[in-house]
Amino acid sequence: MTTYNFSAGPAVLPLSVKQQIEADLYDWRGTGCSVMEVSHRSQEFIDMATDNEHLLRELLNISDEYAVMLIPGGARMQYAMLPINCSTSNGHAIYAINGHWGKLAMQEAGRFTQVTTTAPVSQEAYTHIPAFDATAVNPQADYFHYTSNETLEGVQWHQVPDSQGVPLCCDMTSDLLTREFALDPFAMIYASAQKNMGIAGITLVIMRHEMIGRSDNLIPVMTDYATYARTHSFYNTPPTFPWYVMRLVLQWVKQQGGVAAMQALNHQKSALLYEFIDSSGFYLNKVDPSCRSEVNVPFWLHDEALNQRFLEASSAAGLKALKGHKAVGGMRASIYNAMPMAGLEALVSFMQEFERTHG
């Protein structure tokens, strides 16, 4: 039986990447050592890190106007690093909220700067992106932040918000590398690796050089973007294994045809699932179709008494990690880049049969 991992993160890795990790585990690049044992100052690791940045710049069309930094920790570290580096306690940041992670980012930023939101923050689960009057955005704000894809609620921006010239910053943790976009409107983008770039432990930050080192705050060295930009992320011993896995995943994305190919496949995968859900009277999706996520698809059974039976049966059928987040309930299929179309076909087939036997 084939197993398909629908986990929201840490998420599925391409099979060929896992096989390469296995092959390299005891002897990486002829060193006679695992990559986990090799010095980050060795030429082999430096060459790998250099190639990793070249791949990122190629796949995402990153110009020399931007620094590419790999920072230990997850995206939550950036919730604090961004305001510490780019604002002050007397400053002002704007947050557009459309889900759980945006709320947490805003709350953390509020510890370091003054925060306003583009619309009142909902206490309920988001099913759409709240509209806002762009002309009301304070042009003196230090930055404008949003989360491009909310993994819990399955709400995704399909256009870049109008920040009225305020430096635009975005948490793209769950949809970076899943679709094409122009980098020019952004001052800063960040994404932790464990969705579409590898495994947990490292976060990619892409930032305009002009945004780096401009704060008068007394910033700890390890939370200063200037530290990572100046040293190419080699100030201290970095998370070497996640870095190595990221490079393998980036190579895999390139081999598949790059981000454009990933976008086309993700659209097909999500369309297959949404079309089935919409045609069913047994399941439902609550998100406004205009902002449905193409990488995280939450769904609910009309009869929630069947939830546990659905989860047990789907797991037994090899469809893993379909339980929705406790904050929203229901089910959730996370269909990141490494999830093949066969996984969606298996899921829809199972859902059809479950509906037939329980409807």
101: annotated active-site residue: yes
Helical (H) or strand (E) element with 59: helix 43-60
Q: How many residues does the chain have?
A: 359
Quick check: 187 pLDDT over 90? yes
Quick check: 216 pLDDT over 90? no
Listed residue (46, 334, 83, 86) closest to 208, CA to CA:
86
Quick check: 145 pLDDT over 90? yes
Mean pLDDT, rounded, for 73-95: 95
Q: Write the pLDDT tens digit of every residue in 230-273.
A: 999 999 999 999 999 999 999 999 999 999 999 999 999 999 99
Q: How far apart are CA 234 and CA 232, in angstroms?
A: 5
Quick check: 347 pLDDT over 90? yes
Q: What integer pLDDT is reported at residue 157 of this predicted model?
A: 98
184: annotated active-site residue: no
195: annotated active-site residue: yes
User: What percent of the chain shows pLDDT beyond 70?
Assistant: 100
Q: Which fold has domain 257-358?
A: Aspartate Aminotransferase, domain 1 (3.90.1150)
Mean pLDDT, rounded, for 12-41: 93
Average pLDDT of the chain to the nearest whole number: 96
- Residues 6 or more apart in contact with residue 114 via CB below 8 angstroms: 89, 90, 91, 92, 93
Q: What integer pLDDT is reported at residue 359 of this predicted model?
A: 76
147 neighbors 170 (Cβ within 8 angstroms): yes
* Confidence grade of residue 144 (pLDDT, cut at 50, 70, 90): very high
* Confidence grade of residue 1 (pLDDT, cut at 50, 70, 90): confident
Catalytic residue from among 142, 171, 175, 224: 171
Q: What integer pLDDT is reported at residue 121 of this predicted model?
A: 95
Q: What integer pLDDT is reported at residue 57 of this predicted model?
A: 98
Q: How far apart are CA 304 and CA 252, in angstroms?
A: 39
Q: Write the pLDDT tens digit of every residue in 109-137.
A: 999 999 999 999 998 899 999 999 999 99
Quick check: 158 pLDDT over 90? yes
- Taking the domain 26-256, which CATH number applies? 3.40.640.10
Quick check: 180 pLDDT over 90? yes
Catalytic residue from among 142, 157, 175, 195: 195
pTM: 0.96
User: Domain residues of the chain, as ranges?
Assistant: 26-256, 257-358
